C-alpha cells in the first residue's frame, strides 16, 4: 500500500508541552505594563492574583513572574503574536511609563524584539504555518546562549536522559534543538560571548514517561529538587558519555497526570477596550480558524 503521509512528522517523543517560562521580577506594576499592556497578553484571572506573583497567559503557555530580584534568561523567548502594527502601538503606549528601565523595542525583518524592564528579550513573530504550525498566540521556542562546543553534547543529553528528540541546526552544528511539544522547542545557540552566571530562571515541560527520566537523572545525581508526586526538577545538562557539564538551566518537569496539565487558559483580545467593545470578540484565539485549515 502506498504511504501518502510522513507519519514521523507527527512524532512528539516524550515531551508533549512547553507550559511556562519563569523569571522573578522586583516590581509587579512594571511587569503588568510590559507583559499585559505592552505585549497585549492576559493575566491569569484564577491563580496567583495577589501582588507577590503573576501568571501571564500566552495561548496555551504562560510566563510566571514571582517577586524577587530580577532574573534574565540568557538568550530570548519567542512569541507568536498576530498584528505587528497593533503590537508596536501597544509597546509605544507604555514607553514613557517604563522610562529609566531596560525596556526597549525594535523592528526587524520578520520579528519585533521587545525587552522587558529588566532585560529579558522577546522576539515577537507573526503567525507562520511553515515555521510555527497553526499557532496564532503562543511560545514556539525558548533559545539559550551556550558556550562553544556544547551543542553536540546537548543534542545527546535530551534523547538519552529525557526521551526527547533533538537535531543539530544551522549547517555548522552550532544550534541544538529539542522538541518539547507540538511546534515547540528548546534551542541552544553557541556563542563566543562571555555568559553571565545562572540566576535561577526556569522553564517547565510536561512529559509522558515520567519515571524513566527521573531514574536516569537520579542515578547521575542530577535531580535538583523533589517538588511533589507530579513534579521534579533538574538543572544541569551534561554530556552522557563523559559526564562533562555543558549548561545550567532549571527544568521543572511535570507528569501528564499533573492536575494542571492543559488547564484551559483565558486569552483576551487586546483590541477590545471600553470604547471599541464588541460582544462576542472578547477572546483571542490561540490557533488558526477553520478558514485556515491544514492542507497537508
pTM over 0.85: yes
Q: Which domains does the chain have, with CATH numbers?
A: 146-272 (3.10.180.10)
Cα distance between residue 269 and residue 58, in whole Å: 12
Q: pLDDT digits over 73-110, tens only?
A: 999 999 999 999 999 999 999 999 999 999 999 999 99
pLDDT tens digits, 257-285: 999 999 999 999 999 988 989 998 999 98
Question: What proportions of the chain, in percent to the nearest 5, are helix, strand and coil?
Answer: 20, 35, 45
pLDDT greater than 70 at residue 294: no
Q: How many CB atoms lie within 10 A of CB 37?
A: 16
Strands 121-125 and 112-115: antiparallel
* Radius of gyration, alpha carbons of the chain: 19
CA 270 to each of CA 28, 90, 285: distance values in angstroms, whole numbers, following the listed order: 20, 9, 12
Amino acid at each position: 500500500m502506498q504511504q501518502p503521509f510522513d507519519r514521523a512528522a507527527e512524532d512528539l517523543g516524550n515531551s508533549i508541552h512547553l507550559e511556562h517560562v519563569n523569571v522573578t521580577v522586583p516590581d509587579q506594576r512594571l511587569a503588568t505594563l510590559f507583559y499585559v499592556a505592552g505585549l497585549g497578553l492576559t493575566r491569569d484571572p484564577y491563580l496567583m492574583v495577589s501582588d507577590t506573583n503573576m501568571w501571564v497567559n500566552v495561548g496555551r503557555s504562560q510566563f510566571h513572574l514571582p517577586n524577587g530580584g530580577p532574573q534574565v534568561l540568557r538568550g530570548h523567548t519567542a512569541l507568536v503574536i498576530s498584528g505587528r502594527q497593533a503590537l508596536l502601538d501597544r509597546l509605544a503606549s507604555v514607553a514613557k511609563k517604563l522610562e529609566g528601565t531596560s525596556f526597549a523595542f525594535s523592528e526587524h525583518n520578520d520579528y519585533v524584539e521587545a525587552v522587558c524592564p529588566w532585560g529579558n528579550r522577546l522576539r515577537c513573530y507573526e503567525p507562520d504555518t511553515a515555521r510555527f504550525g497553526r499557532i496564532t498566540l503562543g511560545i514556539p521556542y525558548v533559545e539559550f546562549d551556550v558556550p562553544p562546543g556544547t551543542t553536540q553534547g546537548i543534542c545527546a543529553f535530551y534523547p538519552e536522559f529525557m526521551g526527547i528528540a533533538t537535531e543539530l541546526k544551522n549547517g555548522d552544528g552550532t544550534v541544538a534543538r529539542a522538541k518539547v511539544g507540538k511546534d515547540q522547542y528548546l534551542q541552544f545557540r553557541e556563542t563566543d560571548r562571555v555568559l553571565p552566571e545562572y540566576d535561577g530562571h526556569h522553564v517547565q515541560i510536561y512529559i509522558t514517561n515520567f519515571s524513566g527520566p527521573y531514574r536516569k537523572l537520579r542515578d547521575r545525581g542530577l535531580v535538583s529538587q523533589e517538588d511533589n508526586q507530579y513534579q521534579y526538577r533538574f538543572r544541569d545538562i551534561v554530556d552522557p558519555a563523559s559526564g562533562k557539564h555543558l549548561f545550567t538551566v532549571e527544568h521543572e518537569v511535570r507528569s501528564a497526570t499533573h492536575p494542571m496539565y492543559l488547564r484551559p487558559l483565558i486569552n483576551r483580545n487586546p483590541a477590545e477596550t471600553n470604547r471599541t467593545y464588541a460582544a462576542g470578540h472578547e477572546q483571542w484565539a490561540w490557533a488558526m480558524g477553520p478558514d485556515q485549515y491544514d492542507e497537508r
